[in-house]
Structure 1
Amino acid sequence: MDAKNSVKVSDGPDHSPRSCRVQIASSEHTPFDFWRIVFEGFIAGGAAGVVVEAALYPIDTIKTRLQAAHGGGKIILRGLYCGLGGNLVGVLPASALFLGVYEPTKQKLLNILPENLSAIAHLTAGALGGAASSLVRVPTEVVKQRMQIGHFSSALNAVRLIAANEGVRGFYAGYGSFLLRDLPFDAIQFCIYEQLRIGYKLAANRDLKDAENAMIGAFSGAITGAITTPLDVIKTRLMVQGTKSQYKGSINCVRRIIEEEGSSALMKGIGPRVLWIGIGGSIFFGVLERAKQILAGRRADLNKE
Structure 2
Amino acid sequence: MRNSLLERKKSFASVSMGEEKPFDFFRTFFEGVIAGGAAGVVVEAALYPIDTIKTRLQAVHGGGKIDLKDLYSGLTGNLAGVLPASALFVGVYEPTKQKLLMTFPENLSAAAHFTAGVVGGFATSFIRVPTEIVKQRMQIGQFTSAPDAVRLIISKEGFKGLYAGYGSFLLRDLPFDAIQFCIYEQLRIGYKAAAKRDLNDPENAIIGAFAGALTGAITTPLDVIKTRLMIQGSANQYKGILDCVQTIVRKEGPSALLKGIEPRVLWIGIGGSIFFGVLESTKRLLAQRHPAPHQDSNTKHD
Pairwise same-fold verdict (TM > 0.5): yes
C-alpha contact (below 8 Å) 1:28/1:111 kept by paired residues: no
1:293 to 2:287 alignment: no
Among 62, 76, 79, the alignment partner of 1:71 is: 62
Q: Which residue of 2 aligns with 1:61?
A: 52
CA distance in 2, matches of 1:226, 1:219: 11
Cα deviation, 1:172-228, whole Å, max 9, x if unaligned, reads: 010000000000000000000000000000000000010000000000000000010
Deviation at 1:299, TM superposition (A): 2.2
1:204 to 190, 195, 207: 195
| Contact 2:114–2:178 (8 Å) recurs in 1 | yes
Alignment partner, residue 232 of structure 1: 223
The letter for the 2-side match of 1:231 is L
Name the CA distance, whole Å, in 2 between partners of 1:272 and 1:291. Answer: 27
Contact 2:113 / 2:181 at 8 angstroms: preserved in 1? yes
Q: Which residue number in structure 1 is paired with residue 297 of structure 2? A: none
- Paired position in structure 1 for 2:17: 27
1:52 aligned onto 2:67: no
**TM-superposed deviation, 1:276:** 0.2
1:245 corresponds to which residue? 236
Distance 2:193 2:56 in 1: 43
Does the 8 A contact of 1:23 with 1:202 survive in 2? no
In 2, Cα distance between equivalents of 1:21 and 1:224: 30
**108, 131, 155: which is aligned to 1:117?**
108
Q: Deviations over 1:35-91 (max 9, x none)?
A: 001101100000000000000000000000000000011100000000000000000
Q: Which runs of 5+ in 1 are unaligned?
A: 1-9, 13-17
Q: Cα deviations across residues 242-262 of structure 1 (Å, max 9, x unaligned)?
A: 010000110000000000000
Which of 248, 258, 262 is equivalent to 1:267? Answer: 258
Q: Is the 8 A contact 2:77 2:135 kept in 1?
A: yes
- Answer yes or no: is the 8 Å Cα contact 1:138–1:171 preserved in 2: yes
| Alignment map for 1:110-259 (pairs within 5 Å) | 110-259=101-250
- Displacement of 1:11: 9.1
Which secondary structure does the structure 1 equivalent of 2:246 belong to?
Answer: helix
Please state whether the residue corresponding to 1:207 is helix, strand or coil. Answer: coil
The whole-number CA distance in structure 2 between the counterparts of 1:22 and 1:254 is 45
Aligned residue pairs total 287
8 A Cα contact 1:22 1:202, kept in partner: no
In 2: Cα distance, 1:21 partner to 1:124 partner = 25
- Aligned with 2:290: secondary structure? helix
1:300 partner SS = coil
Output one character per residue of 1:236-284: Cα deviation in whole Å (capped at 9) or x when no partner. 0000000100001100000000000000000000000000000000000
Query: Could you tell me which residue of structure 1 aligns to residue 298 of structure 2?
Result: none
Quote the offset at 1:127 in angstroms. 0.4
Q: 1:43 aligns with which of 16, 34, 39?
A: 34
Residue 22 of structure 1 and its aligned partner are, at CA, apart by 6.9
> Residue 21 of structure 1: CA displacement?
4.7
Q: Quote the offset at 1:28 in angstroms.
A: 6.0
1:135-162 deviations in Å (ceiling 9; x for gaps)? 1000000000000000001111101101
- The match for 2:73 among 60, 82, 85 is 82
For 1:255 and 1:27, how far apart are their aligned partners in 2? Answer: 48
- SS in structure 2 of the partner of residue 70 of structure 1: coil
User: Whose strand proportion is higher, 1 or 2?
Assistant: 1
TM-score of the pair, normalised by structure 1: 0.91
